[in-house]
Amino acid sequence: MKIGFNKVDITPPVGIRLGGYAHRYGRPSEKVHDPLYAGVVIFESGENIVAIIFSDLLGINKTFSNRVKDRISGKIGIRRENIMFTTIHNHSAPETIIPMWPNTFPYSRKEKNVLDRWMREMEDKIVDSAERAFQNLDKGYIKMGKGRVSDISYNRSFKNGVIDPDLTYLYIFSGGERIVISNFACHPVCNIDLGISADYPGNFSQKLFKRGIINFFTTGCTGDIDPLKKGREFIEYMGSRLLSTFFHTIENVSELKNSQLKISSREIELKFRDPPDLETAEKRFREIYKKCIDKIEEEKCFVDLLYADEELAIARENRRSTKTLIQGFSMGGEFLFITIPGEMFAEIGLEFKRRSYENGFKHIIISNYSNDYIGYIPIQRAFHLNTYETRLARWSRVTEDAEKIFLDKMTKLMNDLKL
């Protein structure tokens, strides 16, 4: 097998808005805690080749993802279907998927220009990184490892609910370098201030880099999984726990004996819950805005205005369904990598892993927030309990049957990828 890789700094300028936290109220970022990166890893085995884009972003939409893939395909000749674009769902990166408060705190023209310029520059850097990774293709070998970290995350939706404690990774040796593709299921939401940061995945990567290892991180099924604590100190703790687990398990890694590469994808069509009537949504937003804009830091006003803003945004979009994509590749019938275009609940991911183990796969990475963003993918029970992830918003649009639809499609994709 040949392997090529490259990593590039994509840190945005201070002053750009950060995504994922409504409590920032549209305020600009104030500093850089640590840099953001993107990178590309390419695997080539026989006539098959796959490229994975990794990034410290909040997420990406389908239009942006496809454009980047098309540019890479045109540059180096890899089919778009064989390129995957992953993000870590970093809440201290710019608003690349869903700008918060679109009606309450809309972007100024200057703010929008800064965001657009940075995104164009980032896109160019990712395409260039893919070219460099392709040029660096060299013979290499792969080891597969897995550890468990059960004391840094919890299920925020269900009391005593399940988590996925697996730190799953590929340990790769190529061109005289050591790289890791790692996966862990916990929201990167420790950093809550106005500083740009790659959160705990970035801290883990920095610690590995100091030991001569380049890390490409992917986030697992985190839809209902949060860190036990927040703050910069807990970022350091999470990074240390992941690092310790990695080094405690590398003695037990197994080498990938068969480098046969298989690649496949499945399209998924999903219904969205009906949007509110536009006239009603506009009226409700105006009323709540007038009542709450000067009291927005009070919890009730914060929640009421946030969801009135969301309902208006949904009503204006008036989308009733979407088509999205899951992709995957396998190596040697032992390793399985699957992409998910949203925030899948841990319960769904664990069930899929169980099915994959039963079919002979030994190491499984489910990379969420990849290729597209459709919002939360909850289990059916969450709708009945009205958890946060099921309340109608731009990040919560799918219907109760999404769990079954995804599991069915993922299982079919997994079957496509068996030897």
Show the CA angle centred on residue 80, arms to residues 79 and 84, nearest 5°.
Answer: 120
Distance CA 177, CA 175 (A): 5
Phi, psi of 195 (to 5 degrees): -100, 140
pTM above threshold 0.95 = yes
Q: Exposed, middle or buried: residue 162 (CB in 10 Å: 0-12, 13-18, 19+)?
A: middle
Strand partners, 267: 325
Strand partners, 37: 9
CA distances from 299 to 98, 189, 295, 306 (A): 22, 20, 9, 10
Q: Given this model, what pLDDT does residue 362 score?
A: 96
Q: Are 414 and 338 in contact (CB under 8 A)?
A: yes
For 303-335, write each residue's pLDDT tens digit.
999 999 999 999 999 999 999 999 999 999 999
Q: Given this model, what pLDDT does residue 409 score?
A: 98
Which residue ranges in the chain fall short of pLDDT 70?
Answer: none
Query: CA nearest 181: which of 339, 365, 326?
Result: 365
